Chains A and B, each alone.
Chain A
Amino acid sequence: MLQSTDGHASSHFVTSAGKRSAISMKSILSFVVAAVLAFTIFSCSKTEVDSIDPNGTGGLTLEFDNYVGGTNMALGTAQYKNTAGESFTVTTFNYFVSNIELTKEDGTVVKVPNSYYLVREADPKSLNVALTGIPQANYAKVAFTIGVDSLKSQAPVTERTGALDTGSYGTDNMYWSWNSGYIFMKLEGISPASTISGKAFQYHIGGYGGGFQGAARTANNLRKITLSLGSTSAKVRAATTPTVHLIVDAAKALGGTNTISFATTPTVHSPALAKPIVDNYVNMFVVDHVHND
C-alpha cells in the first residue's frame, strides 16, 4: 500500500479523485495509475514510510518559526505594528516549551519525559526541538506547556539542568531571582510609543502559582497548548523523523483578546500584571504543516 507523505500532494489527489467519482472504473484506475506515477516522479519527499515496529522508537522535531503577523521575525531591524497601531522592533523573543505530549491517531497520549526547552529567536539551534525515543506511531496532535510547571519551578537546584540552569542565561535572563521562578515568555523591543527610557518595552511573563503556608498564591500563568496536526499525521518510524512546523506569531501576544499598548503598558515584570498577555499568547502557536521525512 502506497502512502502519501506530503500534505499538499495528498490533498490534490483526493480532490482530483472526487471530481471523477461518476466516471467509469477503468477511468478511475487509469487516473490512479497516472496520479501515482506523477506523484512518484514529482514529489520531492520520500514516498514510502516504513511500517510501525510496535516496540520501536524514533524521533520527532518541533520547528518553531517565529513571525510577527505575516512577516518573518528579524531581531533588531524589521518594523512591525501592533493592534494598537504602534510601530515597533523586536530585540528579544524567548519562551519555554515544556511537558510535551503527543497524541496518537487512536487517542493514546505519549508524554515526553523531562521535556523542557527554551526557544530563543536569537539562537537558531534552539528553534528546532528534536525529540527522541518517541514510540513509533502516527501522531495526530501535539501539546505542550508554555513555561515551567510548578513542580520543576520548585525542584532542587541539582535538577535544574539544560534549559533550566539558572546560571546559563547570562544577560538574557529567563529567571526571576527575587520572586523565584522562570520567565515563561520574554518579548522585548523598541517602540516610539513607549514612555520609558530608550523607548523600550519589556514583557516578562512568569508565575507558576506558587503558594506558601496557605496564604495567597502567586498568579498561575501556566498554559497548556494543544494543537491538531491537521490532515497529515506525524509518522514516527525507525527511518522517518517527522518535523512539525509551527508558526509562532508574536503579534498575537500583543493583541487579540487584549490590546497591549506600548504607551500605556511599556513593561510587565510580575505574574498578575502579565495575565492579559497570557490570555493573548495562548493563541500564538499554529501548526502550519508536517513533513514526514
Chain B
Amino acid sequence: MTDPALNDVLDRAVAGKAVGPPRIDAIRSGAARRRRRRTTGVVGAAAVAVLAVVGGTAVFAPGDRAPVAVNPPVVSNPPVVPTRLVGVGHVAVAVPVGWAQNATYCFTPQRDTVIVNQGPEGYCMARRPEGVESIEILRGKSTRFPFRDGKIVEIGGARAERLPTVCVASDSDRPTECSATVYFPTLDVTVHLESTTGAAEVDRMIGWIVVVPDQVGVPEYATPVTKYTAELTALGLRPVVVTKKIPRYQDGDILDVVPAPGVLVAPGATVTITVVDNS
C-alpha cells in the first residue's frame, strides 16, 4: 500500500467523526489536580528519605507548615533563548545558556549569572553593573530575607512564599537594584532574584522557576562533610567521600564536588565529595 493511499484512507475513516470542542477548562482543572497530587508525592518521598537517614528525626524546620495557595499560580515563562536547568533539590531555574555560574566579585554579580554555592569571598562594596541579572538558589530558608511579608503563590505545582519585588535606589552612581525572593516550604529551597535592569525583569525571571520532581539539583556545600552527606542522602542522592592530603589545608575542607552544585541529576545518582584529610 502506498503512502498517499494510506494517508487518504485513514483521513477518510475519521473525517466524518464528530469531535466535541476542546475541553480546555477541564484540562486545566485536571492538571491542577494532578499537580497537587504530584507535589504531595514529592514531599512524601522526601520525608520518607529523611526519616530513613536520620532515624526518625524530621529535618524540616518545625514551623514550616505548607502554606495554602491563595493567589493565582505563577505562569511559567522560560526565556525564548536556549536554556539550561540549574537547581537545588527539586527546584530549578531555566537560565539562558549564555549565563555564567557564580560570576561574582565580593558577592556582587558582575554579569548575568546563576549562583549556587558561591563559596568564600570577601565583602568589598563592589559595584554591580547596570543591566545585570542574577538568580541565587539556596538550600533551606535563608534568614537574609524577611519572609514575614511573603504572599502565598503556586509555582510549578508547589506552594511558595513570595516576597514582593522591591527596588532600592542608591544615592551614589550605582544603578537601582530590584529583587524578589521565593521560598518553597515543602521543598526547602530559596530562590533569590536580582536585577539592575528593572522590576519587570525580576518578575519575568520568576517565570523561569520550575519544580522538577524527577530530578535532583546537587545542593551547595555544607560543612562538616557529614552534614553535607546527610543532606545529599535526604535528597535521594548517593554521596561518596574520597580524601586527599594537602598539608596546608585544614582537615575536613571540601575541595570538590562532582557533579558540581546546581547540576541536575537523576534520583539515586552518585555525588563524589573530595575532602582534605592529612591524618
**A and B: bona fide binding partners:** no
Binding site for B on A (CB under 8 A): none
Binding site for A on B (CB under 8 A): none
